[in-house]
Amino acid sequence: MGSKRINNSRRSFIKKTAALTGTILASSSLKPFNAILFATEQSDESKPWYGIGIDIEKCIGCGNCAKACKEENNVPKEPFYFRNWVEQYTIKNDGEIVVESPNGGIDGFTQSVPDEEIFKTFFVPKMCNHCAKSPCTQVCPVGATFESPEGIALMDENYCIGCRYCIQACPYGCRYIHPDKGTADKCTLCYHRIKKGLKPACFEVCPTGARIFGDLNEKDGVMHNFLKNHNCMVLKPNLNTGSKLYYNGLSAEVR
Amino acid sequence: MEHLYEMLSKVDGYIYSNEIELHWGILIVLYPYITGLVAGAFILASLERVFKVKVLRPTYQLALLTALAFLIVAVMPLVSHLGKPFRFYEIMITPHFSSAMAIFGFVYLWYLMVVLLLEIWFDYRRDMVLWSKEKKGFKSRLYKILTLGVNDLSPKTVAWDDKLGYFITVIGIPSAFLLHGYVGFIFGSVKANPWWSTVLMPVIFLFSAMVSGIALVMFLYMAVSWIRKVKIDMPCLDEVGKYLFYVLVLDFTLESLDQIHRIYEAEESFEILDLLVNGKLNYTLFIFQGLLGTLIPLITLGIFRIYKPKPKIRKAFYLIISLLILMGIFFMRWNVVIGGQLFSKSFLGFTSFKLGLIGSEGFLMTIFWLVLPFLILAFILWLLPPWKKHEEEPAS
Ligand code: SF4
Ligand code: SF4
């Protein structure tokens, strides 16, 4: 336990990735096969390209974000549909991992593990990772799921046929079928708000500032500094989803 | 939403907040099951045609028509499970090509229109012309329409029918492989799901498809002979049994390889899959799929390779085996589709699945989708009876 975080400077990672991608592209003529390879690349560096930062060390598990999201976005109130939820991780002394998220954390948490058995405990807010190579976009057979120019994974409910393939493909469990509409539904990073220059609802209500979001292209912007000053990790990096949700203080147990 | 609350109380461990509902239910179990039967039956038919396995002659048309009957139905559960079934055509007019599912409509149509219907048409054209003359009234007119006005019975044209039919069968074999390998890919390419995500998935789907399709034709051949009160051609049945055995060996090997590979590599997801296999999938995997659906048929067919008991006993065993295999492969699809959704992608817990009795995703509907192809087949057999085909050159 007490996992060693991957101590990778973000910048060198980007450089390495860029170099690697460059080599691959230069040494072969893969470009025409983009449709097959499915590599969504950010096209224009002068435009915003949003990323999200969550500081686990700051999260107190109040559940305000999960609640605000349901209200802002008319997410069905039943405890089966969430665009945003908080998980309480408790690692026991014997190594057992206990995770709880009653009603997504909206009603707050209680600790079911007795104090003396707890090795450590923390909260992990979850939401769509707005993957840059999002599996959900890749698998949608009609293109109802797509990525906005700002790098936000969005859904067109007027187009979705409700096949649920995207739900199977999302490794993070961020999608559901809207019970009344019969179509898939997911976090939009409050696209309607950020377009007006507002923060997404969940970021607005977080009392400790554990959640930040911003333009990854902006030099010295909030995301830039967040990534520079913290050792961040994404969830399930092995799946190469190009997740743009960076966690500071992510413990190895979290999936 | 009642059932979701009920399921909420049955969650084991931790699952992501959105994971309570199983998104692909029994209808999606039926989809690979039925397409598999199609592909398998077709491949059996092709053996006779392309590889000239003459003893299989009595099953040739039956296998083709079976493939057609099941293919017609294959797409129905799929469409009916959609949240927006009336938008189904979108997949054809605006396919998103990076999606494995997007080309389903095309693969399906290709197989139905180009391969199956054409092959059957070429095979039956001459007979339909003759039947349209022999029969009266409605049936005669129906045959006339089905010939599409091509009434030429000259030996040259009939020879062309045969040549083109052969050509289509040759295209048909890779198409059948494509159809079912592709269905396997729909699952095998979901990297988020470790139970599905394996390169072997399309291959396993393909071989299990062949197994189930051959078993189906075996069963139908016996059933149809029994209904028609004609003698079963034992050499033919034995030959079908032989192929069934070979394909079953391959299928079993591949699936074991897949499992051994998983166990040996023991990746991140190993613990949860181990719990899945030994818990929620215990019966369906080890008993229904493994023991009843694979091992018993495998051993029996294997014994028949060395020692052949009396035809009567063989027949009884073939009947039982074909049914066991049909059940086994159904549960194989079940284990893949349902099994792959029972565990959480957090690898920390399980949800549960309960098959309701009524409703579009219920048990009765499942039975309906499984019986429907047999009804369609009965109709097709009435319309195009293989046993009434004119084998000899017509005296014109
Ligand atoms: S987290 Fe899931 S829903 Fe969000 S972009 Fe990635 S795959 Fe899509
Ligand atoms: S459910 Fe809708 S958004 Fe999801 S893959 Fe199917 S059509 Fe696309």
For residue A13, the model assigns a pLDDT of 45
The pLDDT score that the predictor gives to residue B392 is 55
A5 lies in some domain: no
pLDDT of amino acid B8: 82
Please name every residue paired with A184 in a beta bridge, in sequence order, or none if there are none. A177
Chain B contact present for A234, CB below 8 A: no
Residue B395 maps to a domain: no
Name A120's bridge partners.
A91
What is the model's pLDDT at position B24? Answer: 95
- Mean pLDDT, residues A74-93: 95
Considering only CA atoms, which residue is closest to atom 6 of ligand 1? Answer: A131
Does residue B188 contact residue B198 with C-beta atoms inside 8 Å? yes
Kindly report, residue by residue over B363-372, the tens digit of the pLDDT. 999 999 999 9
* Residue B323, pLDDT above cutoff 50: yes
CB distance from A239 to chain B under 8 Å? Answer: yes
Chain B residues with CB under 8 Å of A80 CB are 1, 4, 8, 17-18, 20-21
CATH number of A203's domain? 3.30.70.20
> Can you give the residue range of the structural domain that contains A174?
50-248
Question: Residue B188 has what pLDDT?
Answer: 95
Q: Which of residues 376-395 of B touch A (CB under 8 A)?
A: none
Nearest CA to ligand 2 atom 6: A163
Is pLDDT at A30 greater than 70 in this prediction? no
What residues of chain B, 253 to 312, have a C-beta less than 8 Å from chain A?
Answer: 268
Atom of ligand 2 at shortest range from CA of A164: 1
Query: What confidence tens digit (pLDDT) does each residue in B110-125 have?
Result: 988 889 999 999 999 9
Is A35's CB within 8 Å of B97's CB? yes
d(CA B201, CA B198): 6
**Inter-chain CB proximity A97 and B97 less than 8 Å:** no
Does A93 map to a domain?
A: yes
How far, in Å, CA of B161 to CA of B168, rounded?
A: 10
- Does the residue B312 lie in any domain? yes
* d(C-alpha B185, C-alpha B207), whole Å: 14
- Is the pLDDT reported for residue B298 higher than 50? yes
Of all residues in chain B, the percent with pLDDT exceeding 90 is 78
Residue A243's pLDDT is: 94
CA distance B341 to B344: 7
Q: How many domains does chain A have?
A: 1
Within a domain: A105? yes
Q: Determine, for residues B98 and A35 on separate chains, whether the beta-carbon distance falls below 8 Å.
A: yes
Give the residues across from A122 on adjacent strands.
Answer: A89
Provide DSSP, A52-105: EEEEGGG-----HHHHHHHHHTT--SSTT--SEEEEEEEEETTS-EEEE-GGGG
How large is the average pLDDT for residues B148-177?
90
B77, closest residue in chain A (CA to CA): A163
Mean pLDDT of A138-160: 94
Distance A140 CA to ligand 1 centre (A): 12
Which of B6, B72, B21, B16 has the alpha carbon at shortest distance from B377?
A: B72
% of chain B residues with pLDDT over 70: 98
Mean pLDDT of chain B: 92
Tell me which chain A residues have a C-beta less than 8 angstroms from the C-beta of B14: 87, 98-101
Indicate whether A22 pLDDT > 80: no
Indicate the residue of A79, A141, A181 with minimum beta-carbon distance to B91: A141
CB A246 within 8 A of CB A234: yes
Residue B252's pLDDT is 96
Query: Which amino acid, residue A137?
Result: T
Better pLDDT: B63 or B390 = B63
The DSSP annotation for chain A comes to --PPP----HHHHHHHHHHHHHHHHHHS--GGGHHHH-------TTS--EEEEEEGGG-----HHHHHHHHHTT--SSTT--SEEEEEEEEETTS-EEEE-GGGGTT-----S-GGGEEEEEEEEEE----TT-HHHHH-TTS-EEE-TTS-EEE-TTT-----HHHHH-TT---EE-TTT-SEE----SHHHHTTTPPPHHHHH-TT--EEEEETTSTTSHHHHHHHHS-EE-SSGGG-----EEEES--TT--
Q: What is the pLDDT confidence band of residue A29, given thresholds at 50, 70 and 90?
A: very low
Mark yes or no for CB contact A98/B87 under 8 Å. no
ipTM associated with this complex:
0.92
Residue B394 is assigned to a structural domain of this protein: no
Alpha carbons within 13 A on the beta-carbon side of A187: 29
Give the pLDDT confidence of B18-28 residue by residue, as tens digits.
999 899 999 99
The band of A245, judged by pLDDT with boundaries at 50, 70 and 90, is very high
Residue B265's pLDDT band (boundaries 50, 70, 90)? very high
Amino acid at B342: L
Q: For residue B135, is pLDDT > 70?
A: yes
Single pTM value for the model: 0.89
Please report the residues numbered 13 through 42 in chain A whose beta carbons come closer than 8 angstroms to any beta carbon of chain B: 35-36, 38
Considering the domain boundaries, does residue B118 fall inside one?
yes
Q: Shortest CB distance from A183 goes to which of B8, B83, B88?
A: B83
Q: Give domain status of residue B393, yes or no.
A: no
Q: Which chain B positions have a beta carbon within 8 Å of A177's beta carbon? A: 21, 23, 83
Q: Is residue B375 part of a domain?
A: yes
Which pLDDT belongs to residue A43?
A: 57
* Rounded-to-integer distance, Cα B283 and Cα B272, Å: 17
Banded model confidence at residue B3, pLDDT cuts 50, 70, 90: confident
A92 has pLDDT over 60: yes
For residue A75, is pLDDT > 80?
A: yes
Q: Which residues from B are below 8 Å from A170, CB to CB?
A: 192
Predicted pLDDT at A42: 59
Which of chain A's residues have a Cβ under 8 Å away from the Cβ of B80? Answer: none
Task: Please identify among residues 189-218 of chain B the ones whose CB lies closer than 8 Å to any CB of chain A.
Answer: 189-193
Query: Ligand 1 in contact with A52 (CB < 6 A)?
Result: no
What pLDDT is attached to residue A225?
94
Confidence tier at A45 by pLDDT (50, 70, 90): confident
> Above pLDDT 70, what percent of chain A?
83
- Are A153 and A125 a contacting pair, CB within 8 Å? no
Residues B345, A173: C-beta atoms closer than 8 Å: yes
B14 touches chain A (CB under 8 A): yes
Give the range of the structural domain holding residue B27, as residue numbers without chain letter: 20-387
Q: Mean pLDDT lowest for which of A168-182, B80-94, B188-202?
A: B80-94
- What would the pLDDT profile of B30-55 be if each residue is shown by its tens digit? 999 999 999 999 999 998 888 888 89
Segment A235-255 shows an average pLDDT of: 94
State how far the Cα of A142 lies from the Cα of A110, in Å rounded to an integer.
43
Number of domains in chain B: 1
State how far the Cα of A126 lies from the Cα of A54, in Å rounded to an integer: 9
